[in-house]
A and B are shown apart, each in its own frame.
Chain A
């Protein structure tokens, strides 16, 4: 597990790990563990989506086409709350922006041929990135990415379908407490991101904005407004750093990719999706 941290951070760790080698079967096993554990949570999405009033084809189309969990949950939540299609899509889009930064790391590690990139792109998400970054060599990274991507894509779509069918059979999803699945998913995604003071400040400000603006702005817009907590806190933290350039500046630096490397830890995939 410690080896992962080294690999995630630098190409140097990468090269050292390659010398050590890792059997293909071990890579496949790790990748399948993540793919299956996280793939099963498509149930929660299927149920939530159907409970939000989306039809079966709409629910399945989201998992097939969008295939990035947090965005999917955000979209159905916003639509259920009465948000307009583009406001709802904007919130989902902003949540998906992080995948561009994953893609950046992956393209260096995987060195995919250009023709394959449009295909591989659909699988560029939290879990595949976490598994790929944890591998010691290019070969292992490619196997890890492919196996995690394939197993997760298949299972996520299958469990989405089953969850949506199940929700229909249940009838009133509210009576079963299923409307609490959405916020619980968001909390589970958020929890591993709350490590630094900067991250906590952003979350707190976003909660205040999101709830405070709810009664006054049209549906879906308060979430977008709450996103401004990120640049606002960054700006304030930056000003403080300039004034006192010693320890405060380090607070935010670990925000980025570190959270992901945890996913692979026990293979449980507690964060993301």
Chain B
């Protein structure tokens, strides 16, 4: 049930902002500060999420196979690999390190 509540809340929120962009008069969101903040929010959230999902185990910080996988993804990104290849590199390297580690 908890999950459905979360899905419902996310749907309502995400749809509302999509629609708001199409409906509100341009002036409201056109303030430079608001625009810059909106552009930087995803940077902060994505960076925090990347770090947490790589180094967190519950509420503890750990260094495990996922770190190697993320490093592989970073290399793939530097080599301008397409999106799916970046994800695949992370998955394969993580699985490989786990298999080697036993």
Chain A residues in the interface with B (C-beta under 8 A): 37-38, 40-41, 43-44, 54-55, 58, 61-62, 65-68, 70-75, 77, 79, 81-82, 84-86, 88-89, 91-104, 106-108, 112, 117-118, 120-122, 124-125, 174-191, 193-194, 198-199, 202-207, 209-211, 214-215, 219, 222-223, 226-231, 233-234, 252-253, 255-257, 268-270, 273
Considering residues A97, A122, A204, which has the most beta carbons from chain B within 10 angstroms of its beta carbon? A97
Task: Say yes or no: A199 contacts B43, CB within 8 Å.
Answer: yes
Smallest Cβ distance from B18 to chain A, in angstroms? Answer: 4
> Which residue of chain B has its CB nearest to the CB of A107?
B22
Residues from chain A with Cβ under 8 Å of B6 in the complex:
75, 79, 85-86, 88-89
Task: Say yes or no: A37 contacts B49, CB within 8 Å.
Answer: no
Residues from chain B with Cβ under 8 Å of A99 in the complex:
14, 17-18, 21
Task: Say yes or no: B70 contacts A206, CB within 8 Å.
Answer: no
Task: Say yes or no: B44 contacts A270, CB within 8 Å.
Answer: no
In the complex where A226-B45, A234-B40 touch, is A181 in contact with B91 (Cβ < 8 A)?
yes
Would you give 28 A-B contacts (Cβ < 8 Å), ordered by A?
A41-B87, A65-B7, A71-B14, A74-B45, A74-B49, A75-B6, A75-B10, A81-B56, A88-B6, A89-B13, A100-B29, A121-B21, A121-B22, A177-B91, A177-B96, A182-B53, A184-B91, A185-B87, A186-B49, A190-B50, A202-B40, A202-B47, A203-B43, A206-B45, A210-B47, A214-B52, A226-B44, A256-B36
Smallest Cβ distance from B36 to chain A, in angstroms? Answer: 6
In the A-B complex, the 3 residue pairs with the closest CB atoms:
A103-B21, A177-B95, A210-B48
Q: Once bound together, how far apart are the Cα atoms of A184 and B75, in whole Å?
A: 11
Smallest Cβ distance from B76 to chain A, in angstroms? Answer: 8
Task: Say yes or no: A85 contacts B21, CB within 8 Å.
Answer: no
Task: Say yes or no: A183 contacts B53, CB within 8 Å.
Answer: yes
Interface size range of chain B in the complex: 35 or more
Task: Say yes or no: B21 contacts A102, CB within 8 Å.
Answer: yes
Task: Say yes or no: A104 contacts B29, CB within 8 Å.
Answer: yes
Task: Say yes or no: A184 contacts B87, CB within 8 Å.
Answer: yes
Q: Once bound together, how far apart are the Cα atoms of A67 and B89, in whole Å?
A: 25
Q: Once bound together, how far apart are the Cα atoms of A41 and B58, in whole Å?
A: 26
Residues from chain A with Cβ under 8 Å of B52 in the complex:
77, 81, 210-211, 214, 222-223
Chain B residues in the interface with A (C-beta under 8 A): 2-7, 9-11, 13-15, 17-24, 26, 29-30, 33, 35-56, 58-61, 65-66, 69-70, 73-74, 77, 80, 82-84, 86-87, 89-96, 98
Residues from chain A with Cβ under 8 Å of B92 in the complex:
177
Residues from chain B with Cβ under 8 Å of A91 in the complex:
45, 49
Contact check: which of A41, A79, A85, A222 meets B83 at CB < 8 Å?
A41
In the complex where A89-B10, A190-B43, A226-B45 touch, is A234 in contact with B36 (Cβ < 8 A)?
yes
Q: Once bound together, how far apart are the Cα atoms of A126 and B83, in whole Å?
A: 14
Task: Say yes or no: B14 contacts A66, CB within 8 Å.
Answer: yes
Q: Once bound together, how far apart are the Cα atoms of A70 and B74, in whole Å?
A: 18
Smallest Cβ distance from B86 to chain A, in angstroms? Answer: 5
Residues from chain A with Cβ under 8 Å of B51 in the complex:
206-207, 210-211
Q: Once bound together, how far apart are the Cα atoms of A120 and B96, in whole Å?
A: 43
Contact check: which of A68, A183, A233 meets B40 at CB < 8 Å?
A233
Task: Say yes or no: A104 contacts B61, CB within 8 Å.
Answer: no
Q: Once bound together, how far apart are the Cα atoms of A239 and B50, in whole Å?
A: 29
